[in-house]
Structure 1
Amino acid sequence: MAGDGLRIRRRSVLSATAVALSGVAGCSDTLHGTDGQSVTVSMLAAGSLNNALENGLRPSVDTTVQIEAHGSAEVARLIAAGQKDPDIVSIADIALFDSPRQPDWFAEFATNSIVIAYNPNTDGGKQLADAGTENWYRPLLNGDITIGRTDPDLDPLGYRALFMLELATAHYGTDTNLRDAIPQTEQIYPETQLISQFETGSVDAAIAYRNMAVERGYDYIDLPAEIDLSEPSYTDTYESATYELPSGTVVSGGLISYGATIRNHSPAAVDVFSEHITGEYLNEFGFVVPDDYPRFTGNAPDEVTN
């Protein structure tokens, strides 16, 4: 599979087993409430975190963890509307914490990048592999390849896909506006189901987070740092792209950064949260953890930061 500057990765499917602990360890015994019943910690999280939380975080703590995943914008909406009150909330864009119900503190704990994941067994996937990092958009403009994405009104991956296409238009110097020309409404899927569309044959490719391709073992094309929303030195460039959510909130492009906070404080929630933001499972499931993470904003409790 040749192509200009092509950088394609293949990863084996990760085992759903416990991973080595890093940072603050979980309690040695199952935590119990005052009535002797085991404690359950609820998490409302970004869809792109779901597999890592279910198969990486959950086995690494002794506390029972109840996980519900949606697009991060939907997570923020559910909380703002009072429809959900999780112990821990974890989202894929810290900008969504900037709302009337902004938490007192949150921790940035991982980053990611936008990639083009593809199915190498379809004609469309093979065309993308041949086009590579510098020309992947060309076969997409021909209309012969189906490429899935998520709803920009519901989660950051959806609007980040649009940011990437807008930035790509300028980066590659195309005559066609890629943000207008490539996305198709009928190819929008929930974040938790996006990559699984490969298995049903619904799409040849998807605009996805790197971790989504890594943890499911799919081929993907790395995009230039100027457009993949992963490189801090290009933050000013990323911020030139914007999207208005149905609420009227305008979000800007920027470095992808995941953030989490505890809403309902308890020893069990602290235990789970500490492993969530420091656990080695994050690397195992394809996320990138910079050296200065976790990074706290606001007045975080001492038992969380120490």
Structure 2
Amino acid sequence: MQLRKVNARRIQGSLSAMALLALLLAACSAAPAAQTGDTPAAAELEGKIIIFHAGSLTVPVDALTEAFQAQHPKVRFETEASGSNAAARKISELGRQADLMLSSDYTVIEELLMPDFADWYVQFARNTMVIAYTDQSLYADEVDADKWYEVLTREGVVVGRGDPDVDPCGYRTLMVWQLAEKYYELAGLDESLDAACPPQNVRPKSEGLLALLQSGDMDYAWEYRSVAVQHGLEFVELPDEINLSKVEHTDFYAQAIVEIAGEEPGASMTMTGKPITYGVTIPQVAPSPDLALEFVKFLIGPQGQAIMEQHGQPPIVPAVATSKASLPADLLLLVE
């Protein structure tokens, strides 16, 4: 199977066109109600929505909140990006309040927030692990289908990743390394990739590597595909068998196991490889749960899905709720 070098700028153009068409269709479908005076009650929304979200969602969340505010000018937002594990611990350990928690791994909601701090979650988007770089990166003209792991392990090449204890992209990077060793049948590849990415090249969230990459202080960074697209970076697409993107490879992904910091000091959690799936919940401590619910409906509806697609992140259509027992009634018809 051949890996591909991809230029995000070409992708952004086609995605933007598709997203614009979807948004225009959504606007047209809403027009008759406005013309007849049948304005939804949600048009009178007012208040503040506090969002804790994964760093990889920074650009989409900015676009989503801007679009939501265009429809509801009296709604204000406070958004805070971090690793998903760190976002959950702000609620469970630091006692902070948030109306929404958007995680790059729904498992974080299951493990760190339910059942004491959240009752439900919805899976709303997917992603893919890639290797991001720029045209100034060492050996940028050589990194390809056959040589990506050879290039990353060469002397002098600077490679970065996220911290697995606070950032799902961090532990997913370690999973990719394990899977690559099995897929390519190269004993010791996992250890070689780990040695090529020393502790000083690890950041609390993978998005923190972008400035280093763009300044030339780092050659390659393990990132989500959506982040590479959003920031106009070059990236290598890995085989589906190791990039954690495909449901059909779930059994193979499950061979990757990573231990990360648990809920209590000194405790650990076992994370098992699975397709990358984002989750959203309204924590029990939400100051404005009704407003938050309206935003979730927007997020998993046609306009929110179009915005996610525009930013290189495939939405799950329809969104998925693994358990509907505690799901708000307003969401039941929007999920499967």
Q: Which moved more, 1:80-89 or 1:249-258?
A: 80-89
Q: 1:99-118 deviations in whole A, cap 9, x for unaligned? A: 36402111000000100111
Corresponding position of 2:139: 124
Mapped to 1, the partners of 2:112 and 2:54 lie a distance apart of: 20
* In the alignment, structure 1 residue 140 sits paired with structure 2 residue 140: no
SS in 1 for 2:240: coil
Alignment of 1:200-279 (within 5 A): 200-247=215-262, 248-263=268-283, 264=286, 266-278=289-301, 279=304
Mapped to 2, the partners of 1:143 and 1:292 lie a distance apart of: 46
Aligned 8 A contact 1:108 1:294 in 2:
yes
Shift of 1:171: 0.7
Shift of 1:30: 5.8
Shift of 1:184: 1.6
Query: Could you tell me the percent identity over the aligned residues?
Result: 27
Displaced runs of 4+ in structure 1, greater than 6 A?
13-16, 23-28
TM-score (ref. length: structure 1): 0.87
Shift of 1:295: 3.8
Shift of 1:197: 1.8
Q: Which moved more, 1:265-274 or 1:82-91?
A: 265-274
Q: 1:80-114 deviations in whole A, cap 9, x for unaligned? A: 10432200011011111223640211100000010
Number of equivalent positions: 292
Q: Which moved more, 1:84-93 or 1:182-191?
A: 182-191
Mapped to 2, the partners of 1:100 and 1:217 lie a distance apart of: 33
Q: 1:185-243 deviations in whole A, cap 9, x for unaligned? A: 11112333222222222211111000000111111111001100001111111111112
Mapped to 2, the partners of 1:260 and 1:10 lie a distance apart of: 30
Corresponding position of 2:327: 300
Q: 1:114-141 deviations in whole A, cap 9, x for unaligned? A: 001111123333332xxx1332001222
Corresponding position of 2:54: 46
Mapped to 2, the partners of 1:224 and 1:138 lie a distance apart of: 16
Mapped to 1, the partners of 2:141 and 2:176 lie a distance apart of: 22
Mapped to 2, the partners of 1:127 and 1:94 lie a distance apart of: 36
Query: How has the CA–CA distance of structure 1 residues 117 and 100 changed in structure 2, closer, same or farther, with 3 Å as cutoff?
Result: closer
- State which of 154, 158, 162 in structure 1 corresponds to 2:170: 158
Mapped to 1, the partners of 2:151 and 2:78 lie a distance apart of: 42
Aligned 8 A contact 1:94 1:108 in 2:
yes
Structure 2 segments unaligned to the other structure (5+ residues): 31-39, 70-74, 263-267
- Aligned alpha-carbon RMSD (Å): 2.6
Aligned 8 A contact 2:308 2:315 in 1:
yes
Q: 1:143-165 deviations in whole A, cap 9, x for unaligned? A: 23211111111110000000001
Corresponding position of 2:6: 9
